[in-house]
Amino acid sequence: MKGSPEADLLLAYIKGSALENEKKEVENWLKENEEHEKELLQIARIYYSQRTHERIASRDPLPVLENIRRRVRQKKQNVWLRRIATTAACIAGIIVFSTFMSRPKEEIRETMSQHITIKSNPGMRTRFSLPDGTVVYLNSESSLTYPVPYDPKERRVSLTGEGFFNVVHNQDHPFTVSVLDSSLNVRVLGTEFNIQAYKEDNLIQATLLSGSISVEMNDNEGKTRNIKLLPSNRLTYDLSDKKIFIKQVNPIYDIAWIDGKLMFKDTPIPEVLSRLSHFYNVKFDVKDPVIESYRFTGTLQNRQLSQILDYIKISSNIDFRINQVTEDDSNGMKHTTITLWKKK
């Protein structure tokens, strides 16, 4: 089949409203390439996360899940429907109910919060809107959790990984991003900014594009610091020693990933490898420490990882070997490992 099915057709397939010939078209497309499965599941994940809002409003979070389960029972041989049902189950399962909040007797009332988590698959990027209209982009292997409804005093979300936020302005309800179990909190009223905070990096970076943000974290003396960033400021927070660095940058380099690009200008190789690691869902094994001192400049877009490694090999005097995964990933995600060494 030439090209991908129309978005409306894929959505109809997910919802179970596609005609028989339309189902056959989608299933033939799925057989063509394993990446098509990922694409369909990603659309399903976003669709069901949006439907969650409707389920919350009716206080009945399971009808979509039950509908999918029914379809799966009818067509057990269809692997794709089973996996879509799993997606719906995961989204329904992330809705958790908080304990009732205690108030003085004259003000006692029962409140209930429900939380939704949206995750981006390895090697993929996701765009979605929050209930207040704020637009969020999630980079590969990232997740965002938010309550429905928001707390009356603020719009608070939690991020793991990397995300870009275009926050809708609301003077009365600040928007707060809590990163890595509140290791760092970014507070805004309405602006655009990027946060990178992967657990394994032990590093958090916040880059401001417009407006202003207030960043709160603990310094190396254990004291809480509150720093205001201005446009084009990048704050780097080292979790190992609690050191804080602020640098004036061109933010286009930090947010190029939104458009599927990676841009570097005299960038230290460790930072380049970190970006490539998250973008392509791989791990790097550097054999020669001298490589850590190298720097790299270039714009990488719509390129296979092997092409990018060839480019680095030519420009940076680095050789490489790609070690493909051969183990079963049923017990967890396995990563392709790239071994790097200095060319002789």
- Reported as a pLDDT band with limits 50, 70 and 90, residue 286 is very high
Angle 80-15-4 from CA coordinates, rounded to 5°: 60
pLDDT confidence band for 1 (50 / 70 / 90): very low
| Residue-wise pLDDT tens digits, 201-252 | 889 999 999 989 999 987 767 778 899 999 999 999 998 888 899 999 999 9
Q: Is 218 helix (H, G, I), strand (E, B) or coil?
A: strand
CATH, domain range 112-257: 2.60.120.1440
226-231 long-range contacts, Cβ below 8 Å, gap at least 24?
Answer: 229/193
Q: Which tens digit of pLDDT belongs to each residue from 49-58? A: 555 544 444 4
More confident residue, 164 or 331: 164
DSSP per position, 168-210: PP-TTS-EEEEETTTTEEEEESS-EEEEEE-GGGTEEEEEEEE
Judged by average pLDDT, the poorest of 44-58, 253-267, 291-305 is 44-58
Q: Which CATH class is domain 260-344?
A: alpha beta
Q: Model confidence over 167-209: pLDDT tens digits?
A: 999 888 899 999 988 889 999 988 999 999 998 888 999 999 9
Look over the chain and give the mean of its residue pLDDT values, rounded to a whole number.
78
Angle between helices 7-15 and 34-58 (to 10 degrees): 60
Question: pLDDT grade, residue 6 (50/70/90)?
Answer: confident
30 vs 157, more confident: 157
Q: With helix as H, strand as E and coil as C, how does 98-138 read?
A: CCCCCCCHHHCCCCCCEEEEEECCCCCCEEEECCCCCEEEE
Q: In the predicted model, what is the mean pLDDT of residues 37-66?
A: 57
| pLDDT score of 106 more than 60 | no
Both tokens of residue 233? 């400021």
Residues in Cβ contact with 142 at an 8 Å cutoff, skipping those fewer than 6 apart: 119, 120, 159, 160, 161, 162, 163, 198
Picking from 151, 118, 115, the residue whose alpha carbon sits closest to that of residue 135 is 118
What is the percent of the chain with per-residue pLDDT over 70, rounded to a whole number?
75
Indicate if the pLDDT at residue 299 is higher than 50. yes
Handedness of CA 81, 85, 88, 94 (dihedral sign): negative
